[in-house]
Every structure is written in C-alpha cells, then in structure tokens.
Amino acid sequence: MKKSASLIIGLVLLAAVLAAAAVSVFYTPYDPESFSGAKFEAPGTAHLFGTDNFGRDILSRIMKGAGTTLFVALTTVLIGAALGVLVGALTAWYGGVVDSVLMRINDAITAFPSILIALVLVSLLGAGKPGNVILALSIAFVPSFSRVMRTAFATVKNQDYITAARLMGVSTGRILFVHMLPNTLSVLLPSMTIGFNNAVLAEASLSYLGIGVAPPAASLGLMLKDAQSCLDLAPWYAIFTGGAIILTVFAVGLIGNGLREEEGGG
Amino acid sequence: MKKVLCLALALCLLFAVLSGCKKTDNEESYFTVAIAQDLDDTLDPHLVVAAGTKEVMFNVFEGLLKPTPEGNLVPAVCSSYTVDGTKYTFTLRDGIKFHNGRPVTAEDVVYSITRCRDGGYVSAFSNISEVKGEGNTVTITLKEPMVEFAAYLTCAIIPRDYADQATAPIGTGPYKFVSRSAQENVILQAFDDYWGAKPKIRNIRLRIIENGDSLLMSLKSGAVDMASHLTSTQVKGLGDGFDIVQGNMNLVQALYLNNVRAPFDDIRVRQALSYAIDKHEIINHVFDGYGSPLGSSMYPAFSKYFLPELTDYYKTDVQKARDLLKEAGYENLSFRITVPSNYQPHMDTATVIVEQLKRAGINASIEPVEWETWVSRVYSGRDFETTVVGFDASTMTARALLERFGSANGKNFIGYKSEKYDELLKKALAEYDDAKQTEYFKAMERDLTENAANVYIQDLADLVAVRKGVSGVRFYPIYVLDLSGLEYEGK
C-alpha cells in the first residue's frame, strides 16, 4: 500500500513537536519560569526565540507549553471520543427512547458554542487547573463525536455479518465494540484528528481568556495572550508562539487528510 | 439592467462612506478622553457605586467642600465655614448656580445632606442630629464630635426639585452633563456660570473603549486625545506625540495574608515572606520602575500620614527568610496565592512573587479567580491563604485605609488582631485634636508593619497619556479624573 505524502509529512512535523515537548521534561535551554534575561530581548544567540515580558526564555516556554497544550488536547480528544463512541453506539443500537433522549441532550449541548460550555464548566469547577480544563473541554466535545458515531454505527448495524452475529447469540457489548467499532474507524480517526486540532485551539482560547492554565506555568494559549499586549514591542513573541500552534494543527490536519486518502485508495 | 443597478448601488454605498468622513465644525472642537467602562450605573451622585462613574462625575458635582490635589479640603458650594465643637456653620457662596441656571439655596443643601443621611448613602451622616438652612447659611449639628467629618462633606449638592438626576444629572461642577450614548460616549461641556476658574477646554467627549489594544490604536490614530490608567508596556508602545504624566493609583497593593490561618498566624512566617519578597524588583521588572514602594497600609499621596521609613523596614534578605521559616518549623512551606485574573497588574505581580519565593525555598502557586468569586470567597467568605490585590480609600481620611484592620471591623478580611492596634484605633476615632489623631494613625501604621500583617508592595503608578500640546493633568489622593485643569499650551 502506497503511503500518502501528506500522512508522512504530517507525522514528521508532529513528531518534531512531540519531540520538543518530550525533551522539555528533561531539558530546556533555560528554566521556563525563571527570569533568565532582560525584558523583551530580541531573538539572538543567547535566547534563540528572544525573551518575554518577564525576561523568560521564549523557546523554553514554548517547549514546556507545547507539552501542556498537547497533553490537554490529547486527553480531551480521547475522553471526548470514548464518550462519543459510547453514546453513538447506544443510540444507534437501541434506537427509540434511548436514541431520542440521548440525542436531544446532545442537541441541547450543541446549541451552545463549545467554548461557552467549557467556559461555564471551568468557572464552576475552578479555574487554573489543567484537570478541570480537560474535563470541561471533553464534555463540550462529546456531541460532535456522538453525532458522527451514531451515523457510522447505524450504517454498520444493517450489515449482514452483524445480523449473523446476533443470530449466533453474541452479547450486545461484544457486537458493538468488537464487531462494529473496528468498522467505524474510517469515520472515527479523521474526526479525532479534527477534534484534536479543535482541542489545541480550545485550550489556547481558554488560557487566552485567562481561565485555562494558571501562570507562571506555560501553555501556548497563555503565552499568546501575553504576547498580544506587546505586539508592537516584541512581535517575535506572538510569531513564535502562534507558529508553534499553527505547526501542530497543520501537522495533525495533514495526518487526518492522509488517513482519509489511504482509506479511499486502499 | 442588473449591471446598472449594481453600479448605482455601489455609488450609493461610496457616498454613504464618504459622507462619514466629513467632519462638522462642532465635532472638531471636542477633546476626547478614553474611559475604560460605560457609565451604566445610575448617574445620581448619591446612589452611584461604580468607581469609574464617580471618577468622571467628579467634574459635574461638588459638595460643600471639595478636595484639592494636595489632599486638602477647600470650600466649594459654601464660601466659608466655621466649626464650633459639634456645630458646623456654612455660608453659601454668592451667586453660585446649578447647571440649569437656578441659584443654589440653603434648602438644596439641607435636602442633599438629609437625603444622604436618611438613605444611609453616607454612613458618617448618621451622626448628624440636625441640619438647618436659613437665608444663605446652613448649620449642621452632630450628635458626637468627629474630627474627620469635613471629609464627608464632599458629598454632592443637588437641586431639591429635580427628578432626572439618574439620567441627566445636574450639579454645580466646572463641567455640565450634556448627553450619554450607551456603550459609546458621554458628552460634557464647560459650565459658563461656574463660580471658580472656568475650564479652558470647552467640549469634552468621554469615549468608552474597554479593550486595551483598541485604546492604543485609537490614541495612535488620533481618535483619542487622552487616556489614563495605562500600563508601562502600553506607554512604551505609544511612541512620540504624547506626554506621559505619572501619578499614583492611590491604592495599597500587597500580598494580603490570612492572619488567622496557619501558617500565617505565626508572625515569623509573615516576616519571612516580607524578607523574601523584593518589592523594588517587582516595580522595576514588571512596571518598568513606575510605582511607589510601600511598607504599610498608607500611600504617599496622604503625605500627612505617610511614613516613608516603613517602606524598607524588611530589607530583602533571603537567608533571613530561610532562618525565620526554619525557626517557625515551616521549611518547605507551600501555599496558594488567589488573584483576581481580570487585573493584569496583580497577576503579573503574583508571577514575580512566586519566582522570588522560590529563591527562599517557598513553593507558592497562583490560583486565578474571577472578580465575583474573589469578592464572595476571599473578601466576604475569608476562605483564602494569600491574595494579591489593591485597596483604596473611599474618603480622604486615614481612617478609610486603617479602620478595616480593627479586629472587630467587618471589612477585616485578613483577620488581623492586635490589641495595641485596636486600642490606638479607639483613641484615634475619639480624638478631637488633628495632630494627636495623626500620631495615633501613624502608630497604627507602624503596628501593621512590625507585625508584618501583610507583605506590602506598592502604590501602582497611574500613567496618563495626553496629546503633546495639552497640559494640566492633576492627580488627587482619591480616585478622580479632573478635566477642569486641562489646557492647550500657547493658546
């Protein structure tokens, strides 16, 4: 099977971002929270990406912040997708009242912008803790997954091999998650890559609004928020931080595209 | 046919856009001042609570007395007054008029004072036993002597027979209120019959710009001529074309400590924090050197009460901080700093504090909360360890800043308890002699510092940008924006 070019490029780029985040656990050029230079030092040999409004090394903070942001995004998508698959499977399988009730709740949540829901949840749970951000975003992300998965499960449900399995007396749980789930992956994986990107941006927005990750810890969104107020004085701050977000989202976008191409071609 | 119609519509649009470019003569003569929030509170001076509204309505209203930039009180609606124990006698200023042209009478003064007393709008007025007006004199008799009573007489004098105070206010100040468009602007105009020096700038437009970045753009583009409460970063980005005037915000920014909760109930821990936190570094690093360091709950604008020697009472000494913590048995101390996240200066200060505490082996973390949460949980609920905020004085008295730390005071959210302090407070409030009272207040400041009640940081700088060629920005010990002194240079 021929690998699609966008899949390969996407994987390489994502690997680079992940590597930077992984390295930050052991090593960063400077302590990301200490004031290692003067305020707003331009990019140079001492500070490759320059320094921020406290004189902290931007490169170190981007490495550390990418880690935080990726972790939040990844867990959000995994939790959101897991719940979405569950809701999608149940509604498609049982139909009737279960379907109506769950999907109407779903509709109710979709009626609000996901950022707004996350905002309310974070305010209720307490701001500034990554755990709460993940929880709030996951809940906000469930509807998009459950809607897509319900359609996918409903399509697979009518296939002959499922009818055969039912006649053989296989348990519902086994049918749903062993027989049907693998056949919905072609839908699940691309929506997870899209969801991942949305989660990266959502974490950035929440931190940007001041209720995501608590300073002095770094996250890409939080950094972009700080960068905005000094756009004139230190344009590099916004450029490098925004660049890191764009790179991550672009890489995962490419992977999603690649997966779909493979699916279509293979 | 369709094409012709398209063209015609496009032309119409173009005209609509271009007609917006034309400036009328009237519009050109406005001096535009940016304010950060709409005056969506009531405009009635006795009922208003929003600090931002009071700040600008200072130009519209006056009391019997009004404050000066130096922190003194001078006669405004009255021309002179005498105090005889509990009896205050005011002589109304000759020919003073309200903005609607009606002369101010003694009945108006009696009405205004009585309204504030009966409505409970000025709590100190509950001490008034009688207000009487006769001819052009007003006498106020107090139940008990009160040395700082004059400070409350800045309470606005308004006409007794006018009902629209909340939307179209009328006062006696240098500027009269003309109009307000919600979320857009408020128009003021110089009052021709003002009793004092007439304002040099006739028309003022207060434009509401909430976002800091759009404010900066508006200043640079020339749409706004003046803005206050700027940050040092904003000022740096402004470039030429503006004069930057530095005053003080008149608030006490500190790391407020919950004195009743362990480990902050131990004076050694509080002192250790005071030694570990370097206020000068905070001011230099975050605020580019703008800001006045403080050592107690008093800011320099109250020059009569301010004790500069307290500022460096705890000279930064990391080793001493470590020793004190060891002695108190709190090595590896860790705690949370709750900060209202909408106040960037406090967030930035907390960020530096966390870093400084690390040097002394203390592990602090920031907990950002929304303002409403801060008020209900930290201030009213007293459920916090430490918090970074600023407190201001509601009236021009030392009492407004110091009374809150009396152990029985409802506003004592840090739970400060010092018998000596309570004793001094009682003496100060009962004292008739101004010089003696000042000494008591000073002793109270010393008590706060010696007990390291809080880690005092600074009085934040209030940076005002004014278009070059305009002068006369004046700062007060209270939170007001005085526009009446502004003038174009060389005119």
Does one domain contain both B309 and B398?
A: yes
Residue B414 is encoded by which pair of tokens?
């840090």
Does one domain contain both B332 and B415?
A: yes
Does one domain contain both B99 and B34?
A: no
Beta carbons of A232 and B231 less than 8 Å apart: no
Q: Domains of chain A by range and CATH?
A: 5-265 (1.10.3720.10)
Name the H helices within chain A: 5-26, 58-94, 96-110, 114-125, 130-157, 160-167, 172-174, 185-208, 220-228, 235-265
Reply yes or no on whether the pLDDT at B454 is more than 70.
yes
Q: Give the nearest partner residue to A211 out of B237, B341, B358, using CB atoms.
A: B341
- pLDDT category at B2 given cuts 50, 70, 90 is low
C-beta of residue B199 within 8 angstroms of C-beta of residue B26: no
CATH at residue B183: 3.40.190.10
- For the CA atoms of B192, B196, B197, B198, the dihedral, rounded to the nearest 10 degrees, stands at -10
Q: Which residues contact residue A225 at a Cβ distance below 8 angstroms, ignoring those fewer than 6 apart?
A: A207, A208, A209, A210
Q: Which residues contact residue B42 at a Cβ distance below 8 angstroms, ignoring those fewer than 6 apart?
A: B48, B166
Q: Could you tell me if residue B163 is inside a domain?
A: no
pLDDT at A125: 80
Does one domain contain both B331 and B358?
A: yes
Residues of chain A contacting B286 with CB distance shorter than 8 Å: 54
Question: Which range in A214-228, B10-24, B432-446 is most confidently predicted, on average pLDDT?
Answer: B432-446
Task: Give dist(CA B466, CA B247) in Å, integer.
Answer: 13
Mean pLDDT of chain A: 86
- Its pTM stands at 0.77
Task: Give dist(CA A157, CA A263) in Å, integer.
Answer: 20
Tokens 């004031």 correspond to A35
Would you tell me the crossing angle of helices A220-228 and A235-265 to the nearest 10 degrees?
Answer: 140
Beta carbons of B286 and A230 less than 8 Å apart: no
CATH at residue B113: 3.90.76.10
Top-confidence residue, B453 or A186: B453
Closest alpha carbon within chain B to A31: B355
Q: Could you tell me if residue B4 is inside a domain?
A: no
C-beta of residue B151 within 8 angstroms of C-beta of residue B304: no
Does one domain contain both B187 and B305?
A: no
Among B126, B154, B182, the domain-final residue is: B154
Does one domain contain both B145 and B203?
A: no
How many C-beta atoms surround the C-beta of residue B26 within 10 A? 8
- pLDDT category at B27 given cuts 50, 70, 90 is very low
3-state SS record for B410-423: CCCCCCCCCHHHHH
Beta carbons of B341 and A210 less than 8 Å apart: yes
- pLDDT category at B422 given cuts 50, 70, 90 is very high
Reply yes or no on whether the pLDDT at A188 is more than 50.
yes
Among B154, B183, B209, the domain-final residue is: B154
Name the H helices within B29-100: 51-57
Closest alpha carbon within chain A to B359: A34
Does one domain contain both B414 and B428?
A: yes
B234 Cβ under 8 Å from any chain A Cβ: yes
Q: Could you tell me if residue B18 is inside a domain?
A: no
Among B124, B154, B184, the domain-final residue is: B154
Q: Any idea which of B17-21, B144-148, B184-188, B253-257 has the lowest mean pLDDT?
A: B17-21
As beta bridge partners, residue B227 has B34, B465
Q: What end-to-end distance do the CA atoms of chain A give, in Å?
A: 7
- For chain B, the helix, strand and coil percentages under 3-state DSSP, each to the nearest 5: 35, 25, 40
Reply yes or no on whether the pLDDT at B491 is more than 70.
no
Reply yes or no on whether the pLDDT at B40 is more than 90.
no
User: Which three-class secondary structure state does DSSP give residue B476?
Assistant: coil
Does one domain contain both B73 and B117?
A: yes
- pLDDT category at B22 given cuts 50, 70, 90 is very low
Residues of chain A contacting B358 with CB distance shorter than 8 Å: 34
Reply yes or no on whether the pLDDT at B25 is more than 50.
no
Q: Which residues contact residue A124 at a Cβ distance below 8 angstroms, ignoring those fewer than 6 apart?
A: none
Q: Quote the minimal CA–CA distance from B406 to chain A in Å.
A: 32
Q: Quote the minimal CA–CA distance from A237 to chain B in Å.
A: 14
B281 Cβ under 8 Å from any chain A Cβ: no
Q: Could you tell me if residue B12 is inside a domain?
A: no
pLDDT at A139: 87
Q: Which residues contact residue A264 at a Cβ distance below 8 angstroms, ignoring those fewer than 6 apart?
A: none
Q: Fill in the DSSP letter of residue A169.
A: T
pLDDT at B399: 86
Residues of chain B contacting A214 with CB distance shorter than 8 Å: 365-368
Does one domain contain both B407 and B288?
A: yes
Does one domain contain both B242 and B210?
A: yes
Tokens 């007489």 correspond to B153
B126 Cβ under 8 Å from any chain A Cβ: no
Task: Give dist(CA B294, CA B32) in Å, integer.
Answer: 34
Beta carbons of B370 and A123 less than 8 Å apart: yes
Beta carbons of B355 and A233 less than 8 Å apart: no
Q: Could you tell me if residue B191 is inside a domain?
A: yes
Tell how far CA B300 is from the center of its chain.
14
Task: Give dist(CA B245, CA B228) in Å, integer.
Answer: 9
Number of domains present in the structure of chain B:
3
Q: Give the nearest partner residue to A127 out of B213, B344, B369, using CB atoms.
A: B369
Q: Could you tell me if residue B109 is inside a domain?
A: yes
Task: Give dist(CA A52, CA A47) in Å, integer.
Answer: 10
Task: Give dist(CA B173, CA B480) in Å, integer.
Answer: 13
Mean pLDDT of B398-410: 89
pLDDT at A225: 80
**What one-letter code names the amino acid at B258?**
N
Reply yes or no on whether the pLDDT at B160 is more than 90.
yes
Residues of chain B contacting A215 with CB distance shorter than 8 Å: 347, 350-351, 366, 368
Top-confidence residue, A125 or A90: A90
Q: Could you tell me if residue B476 is inside a domain?
A: yes
**What one-letter code names the amino acid at A96?**
G
Task: Give dist(CA A69, CA A252) in Å, integer.
Answer: 14
Does one domain contain both B376 and B388?
A: yes
Does one domain contain both B234 and B321?
A: no
Helices (H) and strands (E) in chain B, counts: 14, 21
B365 Cβ under 8 Å from any chain A Cβ: yes
Task: Give dist(CA B50, CA B45) in Å, integer.
Answer: 10
Task: Give dist(CA A63, CA A17) in Å, integer.
Answer: 8
Mean pLDDT of chain B: 89
Residues of chain B contacting A216 with CB distance shorter than 8 Å: 351, 354-355, 366
Reply yes or no on whether the pLDDT at B26 is more than 50.
no
Q: Could you tell me if residue B415 is inside a domain?
A: yes
CATH at residue B363: 3.10.105.10
Residue B94 is encoded by which pair of tokens?
């000759």
User: Which three-class secondary structure state does DSSP give residue B382?
Assistant: coil
pLDDT at B12: 62
Residue B448 is encoded by which pair of tokens?
């706060």
Residue A139 is encoded by which pair of tokens?
């809940």
pLDDT at A23: 92
List the strands of the sheet with B137-142, edge to edge. B78-84, B87-92, B137-142, B128-134
pLDDT at B4: 67
Residue B120 is encoded by which pair of tokens?
């409970």
Q: Quote the minimal CA–CA distance from A16 to chain B in Å.
A: 30
Residue B185 is encoded by which pair of tokens?
């602007």
Residues of chain B contacting A36 with CB distance shorter than 8 Å: none
> Looking at chain B from residue 307 to 346, which residues have their Cβ under 8 Å from any Cβ of chain A?
341-342, 344
Reply yes or no on whether the pLDDT at A38 is more than 50.
yes
Domain extent for B36: 25-44+50-58+173-248+462-488
In this structure, the strands spanning B242-248 and B461-467 are antiparallel
ipTM, 2 dp: 0.74
The size of the A-B interface in CB pairs under 8 A is 62
Polymer length in residues for chain A: 266
In this structure, the strands spanning B175-181 and B185-190 are antiparallel
